[in-house]
Amino acid sequence: MTLDETTLTTALHDLAGTVPDNPARLSHVHHLARRRHRRNRAIGAGALAATMAAAVVGAEALASGGGRPAPAIRPASGGPGAPAPAPANGASATAAPANGAPAGALPACPAAPPQPNNRDVAPPSIGQQFTGGGTVTAPGTASGIAVHVDGGPMLGSDLTLTIGPASKVFVDEHPATGTQVQKGERVKFSATVVATASYLLDELHAGTPSAVQTPKQGASGGPAQPAVGDGFKVTGQATGLTGTTITVDVQGGSLPPGPVTFTLECRPAGSVVGKTVSVAGTRTGASAYDAFAVVVQAS
């Protein structure tokens, strides 16, 4: 075969035309997206809960520093207007918020994420499996991957996950080896504690969060929305509440200003309509958002 530009173009089209199309591609793409979405939600919930807990603690500190009277849900034993420590489990059960939220915190969802703060979670014991998310701190090797954990029960730890014969490593959803995991990549993983400070990797998914730039927003000039599967946090005025949704006129945070309806993953205690609220959750679609936490801000 000799090559000039015309024959090359023809030959390339001829070669490309031999590839059979896959009629099931669309369903495979949706399946892949759902799997990625579920994984992101499962791992992201821990980090989100920690963020919300920090926000609640910050709001509480601000409220008590300002000398405002304690909100009505504060346990009566603390005295009028006096900042009171959070009730211990079982103490003042009738006065404490039903879901055990910190006193002074705004009404929390009864079905909020299981732990308000990952640091409160006991580290897994030997033989126990756990999940987490974090950042790779050194190039992976065939025998292990070093990760700084920022989500899950080992939050804040630097772990080396040992790769065993049954360990599975994926990079961008494709099977890979430990050596293909690079420093700085985001990972989500499950592992088993095999001994003190020894963790056997069960499965790890790695990928660069922003390998491809998001195109610029339109003329609205609002903040760039988080990608589907990513978390968000906004503040605004609650304008409507149903059994499954809350509508908020968003005024700040990681979503563009304006009314947004969130699907409730938890039920805010008390009345929130007309109040300024913070909502945190996950974007699940083009204009679909799940709210894992709804917190009324101190007025």
Partner 1 sequence: MVLSTDLPRIAGPYHFDTYVHERSAALLRLAFLLTGDTHTAEDLVQSSLVKVMGRWDSITAGGDPHAYVRAVLLHTALRWRKRRWSGERPSEVLPERADEADGAGAVVARERLRRALQALPPRQRAAVVLRHYEDLTEADAARALGCSVGTVKSQTARGLERLRALLDDDNGRNP
Give the footprint of partner 1 on this chain (CB under 8 A).
Answer: 1-3, 5, 8-9, 11-22, 25-26, 28-30, 32-34, 36-38, 111, 171-174, 176, 180, 211-212, 214-218, 225, 227-229, 244, 263-267, 284-288, 290
- Written as six digits, the tokens of 290 are 């799940």
Helices (H), the chain: 5-16, 25-65
Of the two residues 5 and 94, which places its CB atom closer to partner 1 in the complex? 5
Q: Least CB distance from residue 125 to partner 1, whole Å?
A: 29
Q: Least CB distance from residue 284 to partner 1, whole Å?
A: 6
How far does Cα 294 stand from its chain's mean position? 15
Q: Distance between terminal CA atoms of the chain?
A: 78
Q: Least CB distance from residue 47 to partner 1, whole Å?
A: 19
CA distance 177 to 168: 8
Of the two residues 59 and 250, which places its CB atom closer to partner 1 in the complex? 250
The strand pair at 129-136 and 276-285 is best described as: unpaired
Q: Least CB distance from residue 200 to partner 1, whole Å?
A: 24
CA dihedral 33, 36, 41, 46 (to 10 degrees): -160
Give the residue from 213, 205, 206, 223 showing the smallest Cα distance to 260.
223
CA angle 230, 234, 238 (to 5 degrees): 130
DSSP letters, 152-179, are STTTT-EEEEEEEEEEEEEETTEEE-GG
Of the two residues 15 and 122, which places its CB atom closer to partner 1 in the complex? 15
- Written as six digits, the tokens of 228 are 């589907």
Q: Least CB distance from residue 268 to partner 1, whole Å?
A: 12
- Written as six digits, the tokens of 88 are 């211990």
Of the two residues 128 and 214, which places its CB atom closer to partner 1 in the complex? 214
Q: Least CB distance from residue 52 to partner 1, whole Å?
A: 17
Residue count of the chain: 299
Task: With H, G, I as helix, E, B as strand and everything else as coil, classify residue 198.
Answer: strand
Of the two residues 103 and 181, which places its CB atom closer to partner 1 in the complex? 181
Of the two residues 20 and 66, which places its CB atom closer to partner 1 in the complex? 20
Of the two residues 112 and 193, which places its CB atom closer to partner 1 in the complex? 112
Q: Least CB distance from residue 13 to partner 1, whole Å?
A: 7
CA distance 182 to 208: 9
